[in-house]
Amino acid sequence: MKNRLNGYMLLFCVTVSVSVAKAQYTLKKDFIEKNLNEAIKQIDYLGSNTPGEKLPRTYEAGKSISSGTGWWTSGFYPGTLLYLYEYSGNEELLDRAKQKLKLLEKEKNNTTTHDLGFMLYCSFGNILRLTGDSSAYKDVLLTGANSLISRFNPVTKTIRSWEGWTYPVIIDNMMNLEFLTQASKISGEKKYQDIAITHANTTMKNHYRNDMSCYHVVDYNPQTGDIVAKKTAQGAFDESAWARGQAWGLYGYTMMYRETKRKEYLQFAEKIATYILNHPNMPDDGVPFWDFNAPDLPASSPYASQYKQYRDASAAAIIASALLELSTYVKNTKAKEYVNAAEKMLVSLSSDSYKAPIGSNGGFILMHSVGSIPHKSEIDVPLTYADYYYVEALLRYRNLLRN
């Protein structure tokens, strides 16, 4: 059961059989498995620090911070448990994930958020993939997908992200489109993927600048579809390149190429990767600052003196995972570039500089992520989604080596 793969991993592995000749993999199996085994030990400790009716969110000032199921990160902890179960075959990890899924199921009816991909697909999508139990999980996913598309506006051609503003759409929303493409596969109904494609196309047109950095927020007029404003909520300033936003875009368009085979998505993902990997402010260890413009902030910026130096391990984990998949879709030189960059990130994240000793950090695997500096929230702390994408990247690398 632990070797069963979902649609994207099946495609991923098929592509790998061709791409092994494209790029050399320098990390050893022992390195990958050591870090996965230590992740299992650490997530055991995390579980002991998490109330039974809550989901882990972060660890700050010596205290574990949990969330209810309605918080956007609620699906990552059960998703990480399921990834580690997939690797290890440890049924206890599966049982713990199922316990949290019982709490999370009610979010299938939540029409007040666009984050249902994070909440439901990273959790219920993974358990359906691993168990094949459609009688238990198909309805949850399809009900949740219908809740998500209830936020789609055919005038703006986007799925609304937040309440407030006018009609805001954030780059993070690209990550929820995989949920819709999979809903079409599960149901046989084309409407979900059609909405995903429409949203991706609109985002490609309106979110990205000429240099292939992206805005965090594009606010629309829901009656006309016109753009009201292009802003940031979590970046350094409106025209800056918020690091996790760049990561979401890279991952999202790589995934959309996998799901649709539309070459424009592959080409777009490659351009985003070029921007990220060649940015002059990308640190040598491959772990980005919280905003690519942070090191250059003027002294007058409210973030210049206190916040400019912070890294975001979550962005590195997302980028590494995306690059490993992207490497399987491109030719030799680029494949090697993407694998080498992902390897550098994984080595850095697995070092003492970013990975916490077992039994510390509240049970979270990675240290030094950033939620939102403008909101003074979750600054230089562990984050549940950093761990999820780090484990995912390790598993993807392991699959590359095995194939």
State both tokens at 372. Answer: 């939102």
Q: What is the pLDDT of residues 211-224, one digit of tens each?
A: 999 999 999 999 99
Q: With respect to residue 145, please indicate whether it lies within any of the assigned structural domains.
A: yes
Contact status, residue 314 vs residue 370, Cβ threshold 8 Å: yes
Q: With respect to residue 107, please indicate whether it lies within any of the assigned structural domains.
A: yes
Which pLDDT belongs to residue 292?
98
CATH code at position 217: 1.50.10.10
- Cβ neighbours around 107 below 10 Å, total: 24
Per DSSP, the residues of 330-357 read S-HHHHHHHHHHHHHHHHHHTSTTTBPP
Q: With respect to residue 205, please indicate whether it lies within any of the assigned structural domains.
A: yes
Q: What single DSSP character describes residue 5?
A: -
Closest CA to 210 of 244, 239, 248, 170: 239
Phi, psi of 125 (to 5 degrees): -60, -40
Boundaries of domain holding 201: 7-402
Going residue by residue through the chain, which has 403 residues, state the pLDDT in tens, using 9 for 90 and above: 333 334 434 333 333 333 444 578 999 999 999 999 999 999 999 999 999 999 999 999 999 999 999 999 999 999 999 999 999 999 999 999 999 999 999 999 999 999 999 999 999 999 999 999 999 999 999 999 999 999 999 999 999 999 989 999 999 999 999 999 999 999 999 999 999 999 999 999 999 999 999 999 999 999 999 999 999 999 999 999 999 999 999 999 999 999 999 999 999 999 999 999 999 999 999 999 999 999 999 999 999 999 999 999 999 999 999 999 999 999 999 999 999 999 999 999 999 999 999 999 999 999 999 999 999 999 999 999 999 999 999 999 999 999 8
Give the span between the Cα atoms of 91 and 85, in whole angstroms.
Answer: 7
Q: With respect to residue 1, please indicate whether it lies within any of the assigned structural domains.
A: no
Q: State how many domains the chain has.
A: 1
Q: With respect to residue 202, please indicate whether it lies within any of the assigned structural domains.
A: yes
Q: What is the pLDDT of residues 290-334, one digit of tens each?
A: 999 999 999 999 999 999 999 999 999 999 999 999 999 999 999
Give the span between the Cα atoms of 342 and 401, in whole angstroms.
Answer: 14
Residue positions annotated with a catalytic role: 115, 172
Q: With respect to residue 2, please indicate whether it lies within any of the assigned structural domains.
A: no
